[in-house]
Homo-oligomer: A and B are copies of this chain.
Amino acid sequence: MRNIHFETDYIKNPAGSCLASFGDTRVICTATIESKVPPFLEGKGTGWLTAEYAMLPGSTGGGRKRRDGAKRDGRGVEISRLIGRSLRAAIDLASLGETSIVIDCDVLQADGGTRTAAISGGWVALYRALQKLAEIQGTSGPEAYLLGQVAAVSVGIVDGELICDLDYYHDSRAAVDMNVVMRDGSLVEVQGTGEKNVFEREALNRLLDSAEEGIARIREAQRRALGIS
């Protein structure tokens, strides 16, 4: 696994923020609190969490990435939705009241695993924002809202070898790769995506074993950054 690091409060304005580094991959995650909910939830007394993922134009190799305009980048939309689902699994939406939390994940530098860095860093930013929300709402702390600790990792098989937390070099050579999101010891989302290859149940199981180990280490880094035991 690459060196994993979370730097909290990297940006001062939002309720929570974090710079997540997975090797050379660096993602700024911010969590903003808004005192309103989307139309479909108005008047229901429950909250919402949504996420947006984007890459800075200079973040990626192989040429500048265009900014989204009228035509949104499909990959970015798909990843935004994955981050949103993953972090909604971290909290009890009803406990928020009619409050929304927006998680923004902006990739400064991309070297593989940006979506798993975004989910893991997003949870750290979310935790900081819940600390602030607890102050505002006078609750006991982030635990008043949290269902668990969410982290994610990518795993793959490259040249027959199991790799946890793939960088771009490995990712582009992987026969199979999978993104795994866990809340504490349980699975939140498993995405094994084929595209170039198919895989067997046995490989799936080995990849999940590896992901569980990797996530345990990411969880430690998250807790260390937040100063919680």
Contacts and interface: CB of A to CB of B under 8 A. Distances in A.
Contacts of A12: 24, 109
Interface string A32-75: 10100000000000000000101011111101100111111011
Contact of A192 (B69, B148, B183, B190): B190
Nearest to A181: B194
B194 A189 contact: yes
Interface residues of A, number: 67
A159 to B, nearest CB: 19
Interface in A158-191: 178, 181-184, 186-191
Please tell me how many copies of the chain the complex holds: 6
A98 interface: no
Interface stretch (A79-87, A132-140, A215-223): A79-87
Contacts of A31: 58
Contacts of A81: 74-75, 78
A120 interface: no
A189 B193 contact: yes
Contacts of A108: 11, 28
15 contacts: A11-B108, A56-B106, A57-B104, A68-B68, A69-B71, A70-B71, A71-B72, A77-B78, A85-B193, A85-B194, A187-B199, A187-B201, A188-B194, A188-B198, A191-B191
